């Protein structure tokens, strides 16, 4: 073999070996298989795992700057920590009617992943892959959208997927053809009766989804278009945040600082007041603080008598966005808060974690999380699983 042919053969060999790992293929991201294992190390306080088992839920959590979605559940009496790698995940929402999971990936262009629980059910000669516990979420599809949307939060409104397009100052409705429609915006971004959709002016960043767009509520960092825009280091944030009413398109709650994760639960509008590490609900036009945590509060879901509140570290260059927090004391993790007492009852912390964006839950009997597990990776079993996985609601010959 000539030297040139030998060099060509080596190149061909490298190319043939590339794009072989399921983590790369499912996330459409070549570096996805190179995970720093420290990112999944955790510490728990209180009866964290017992609480998840008692509630019978799997928590699904996006860690946007670490490019991970994490699943936390209890299987066979033991902690079960799983993950799915995806570029810069932000909002997620579970459709508990269809058991689907919608996930926003907000690099340019934006993507919406749709995931469903699956099992290794296709009968293939010689294939003996691991039977994954309680059907892990795996991707069903991914749809691309313009990066200018800058999708943050996701919500199901009247069983239709909506997102807040921060870059358009609006709420958008997604359809199956890769199209989006601006369906709502606050009054304050109108100019001569038309919405200003050309730039991010107010950081409209979360949705408390109701029965309709008009019955929903939306958080933003300000209630007016100012000289400086969100992202500028001198953008004014302290006590400038609001909650908008979908019906009036005007603020119904003021005095917030970089609010996120607005949610409706038992008739109350809950929200994370990120810049002060607080979580609470709207009462008489202002935030009734239930608890204050050591970290940037963002990521909130509520079920039964508990709220799960995520905290993140303060990004150094944006420290002035968190005037109520101590930079050195901020932590990355999830806190379980009793709605009866207003006190934390348990927590999980990621010592090497950075930023959390969103949390939602699903019954753990439906899905225990994702296929990729913390600890020793079982690449052969992962490959075998994806070789013959099957969605329960999919028809076709086996």
Domains parsed from the chain with CATH numbers:
46-57+88-117+140-361 (2.120.10.30)
Q: Is 257 helix (H, G, I), strand (E, B) or coil?
A: coil
What residue ranges of the chain have pLDDT lower than 70? 1, 8-11, 19, 121-133, 376-378, 393-398
Residue 391 has a pLDDT of: 86
Q: What is the pLDDT of residue 318?
A: 87
Q: Residue 394 has what pLDDT?
A: 42
Report the alpha-carbon distance of residue 8 to residue 50 in Å, rounded: 57
pLDDT at 242: 98
290/111 Cα distance (integer angstroms): 35
Residue 30 CB coordination number (10 Å): 13
pLDDT of residue 123: 66
Q: What pLDDT, on the 0 to 100 scale, is given for residue 351? A: 97
Is the distance from CB of 185 to CB of 249 less than 8 angstroms? yes
pLDDT of residue 395: 36
Q: How confident is the model at residue 133, as a pLDDT?
A: 53
10 by DSSP, 3-state: which? Answer: helix
- The size of the chain, in residues, is 398
This prediction has a pTM of 0.92
For the CA atoms of 205, 295, 94, 72, what is the dihedral angle to 10 degrees? 160
Please report how many Cα atoms fall inside a 13 Å half-sphere around the Cα of residue 5, on the Cβ side.
Answer: 2
């Amino acid at each position: 073999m000539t030297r040139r042919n030998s060099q060509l053969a080596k190149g061909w060999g490298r190319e043939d070996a590339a794009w072989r790992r399921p983590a790369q293929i499912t996330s459409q991201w070549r570096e996805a298989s190179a995970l720093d294992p420290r990112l999944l190390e955790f510490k728990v306080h209180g009866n964290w795992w017992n609480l998840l088992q008692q509630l019978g839920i799997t928590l699904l959590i996006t860690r946007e700057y670490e490019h991970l979605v994490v699943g936390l559940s209890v299987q066979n009496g033991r902690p079960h920590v799983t993950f799915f790698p995806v570029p810069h995940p932000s909002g997620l929402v579970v459709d508990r009617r269809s058991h689907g999971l919608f996930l926003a990936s907000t690099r340019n262009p934006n993507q919406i992943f749709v995931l469903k629980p699956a099992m290794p059910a296709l009968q293939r000669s010689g294939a003996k892959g691991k039977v994954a516990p309680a059907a892990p979420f795996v991707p069903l599809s991914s749809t691309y959208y313009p990066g200018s949307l800058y999708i943050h939060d996701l919500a199901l409104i009247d069983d239709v997927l909506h997102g807040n397009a921060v870059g358009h100052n609006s709420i958008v409705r997604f359809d199956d053809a890769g199209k989006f429609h601006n369906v709502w915006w606050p009054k304050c971004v109108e100019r001569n009766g038309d919405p200003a959709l050309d730039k991010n002016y107010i950081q409209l960043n979360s949705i408390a989804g109701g029965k309709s767009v008009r019955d929903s509520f939306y958080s933003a960092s300000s209630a007016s278009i100012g000289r400086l825009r969100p992202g500028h280091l001198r953008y004014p944030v302290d006590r400038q945040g609001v909650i908008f009413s979908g019906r009036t398109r005007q603020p119904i709650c003021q005095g917030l600082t970089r609010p996120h994760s607005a949610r409706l639960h038992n008739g109350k509008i809950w929200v994370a007041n990120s810049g002060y590490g607080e979580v609470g609900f709207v009462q008489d036009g202002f935030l009734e603080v239930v608890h204050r945590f050591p970290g940037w509060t963002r990521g909130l879901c509520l079920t039964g008598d508990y709220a799960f509140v995520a905290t993140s570290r303060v990004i150094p260059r944006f420290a002035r966005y968190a005037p109520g927090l101590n930079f050195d004391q901020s932590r990355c993790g999830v806190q379980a808060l009793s709605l009866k007492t207003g006190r934390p009852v348990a927590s999980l912390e990621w010592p090497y974690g950075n930023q959390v964006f969103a949390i939602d839950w699903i019954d753990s009997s439906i899905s225990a999380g994702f296929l990729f597990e913390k600890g020793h990776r079982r690449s052969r079993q992962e490959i075998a699983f994806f070789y013959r996985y099957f969605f329960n609601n999919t028809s076709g010959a086996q």
